[in-house]
Chain A
Amino acid sequence: MVTTRPSVQDVWTWLADVPDPEIPVISLVDLGIIRDVQWQGDTLEVTVTPTYSGCPATSIINIEIEAALRANGIENLSLKRQIAPPWTTDWMSDAGKAKLEGYGIAPPQPAGGPDRCPHCQSTHVKKISQFGSTPCKAQWRCTDCLEPFDYFKCI
């Protein structure tokens, strides 16, 4: 029996459908943590980088990658963890940033803080705390609509 290996492009497409477990509105590909996909003989090797070294979602992410690829018929799979170069929010896709804002999370900005409130678009925003509901986020507040919101930290 002859089996054809799915193309690397197909694998990227499947991974683009796997949601981030903490922020399900964006995919793992949007987040920029899938660093490489390649065939090593009969084994598909997927290279993943953690967002923060202690992020508890890391192991769940690996389980979800494996489940998605198994569901598409991948049998021999190897997940490789890579910490250097370290993950940066520069690797987040523009589509991912737009989806974050639509979801109520201000996307990362090089200036180090959100440029506007993701709820009412006011530019009058204030930091509440450097840390938020997950390691990758900080807490901010809009001084116009008074809603608190998460800001995806720029690292």
Chain B
Amino acid sequence: MSVTGLIRMGDNTLVLGQRVSEWCGHAPALEEDIALANTALDLIGQTQLWLRLAAEREGEGRTADTLAYHRDAWDFRNLLLVEQPNRDFGVTMMRQFLFDSWHLEALTKLVEHDDTEISAIAQKSVKEVTYHRERSGDMIIALGDGTEESHARMQSALDRLWPYVGEMFSTDTDDLIDMAALRPAFDAHVGAVLAEATLTRPESDFAHLGGKTGARHTEHLGHMLATMQVLPRSYPDATW
């Protein structure tokens, strides 16, 4: 069992949870604001479970909080997809849908993991993420098959984010499961939703890599961490 594999799971939910929470108070409608905040809350809750277990297994005295607040961008092991900026609501929902579609497949597999603590986190998370994927999928269909303007924005969001899809299925021995094996189920679900949303899957499957290995994050991660970490970094002994 690799600590890096646990950190990858926790960093994905942490970085996306922080990104989604940036919408709080700014979403286009009250219901959407509440839904985004609740999604962020679930993701941060899952982060606490993954990073706590990672810190315990590492056994070097770190905690979920020190992992979240006292590491720099090059130590993060999240996918490049989740660190991409929110931009407009369409990009935010497309990022969510692509992530949810991978996340649900990964968690469903992790439920069967031999390690009972990993399985327990997956069992808890899979219920929440089932709701996330249902909601983001509905939103992709409503906006993709909506007005001319919303359709154009969703297609452009898909074109922008598709190069970050491949990394979710790149895999190595640090991963808790074989991520490459999740691709057919992901393609089937995403394909069905995109068809209903009248959106066209980009032709090229070119993939940017380097997030989950830490080799090459995008410039956006550092800016996000600066905001997220400023308080515990400035006041390392602060408690709440």
Contact = CB atoms under 8 A, between A and B. Distances in A.
Interface of A: 50, 52-56, 83-86, 128-135, 139, 153, 155
Contacts of A133: 34
Contacts of B38: 131, 134-135
B45 A52 contact: yes
Contact of B35 (A50, A129, A134, A155): A129
Contact of B42 (A53, A86, A132): A53
5 residue pairs, one from A and one from B, having the closest CB atoms: A54-B45, A53-B45, A84-B120, A129-B31, A54-B41
Given A131-B38, A135-B41, A52 B119 contact: no
B121 interface: yes
Contact of A53 (B34, B46, B138): B46
A84 B124 contact: yes
B131 A54 contact: no
Given A85-B123, A86-B127, A54 B42 contact: yes
Contacts of B46: 53-54
Contacts of B123: 83-86
Contacts of A135: 38, 41-42, 128
Nearest to B135: A130
Contacts of B131: 130-131, 153, 155
Contacts of B32: 129
A55 B37 CA distance: 12
A105 to B, nearest CB: 16
Contacts of B48: 53-54
A50 B39 CA distance: 16
A40 B121 CA distance: 26
Contacts of B134: 130
Nearest to B49: A53
Interface in B134-158: 134-135, 138
Nearest to B50: A53
Interface in B17-55: 31-32, 34-35, 38-39, 41-46, 48-49
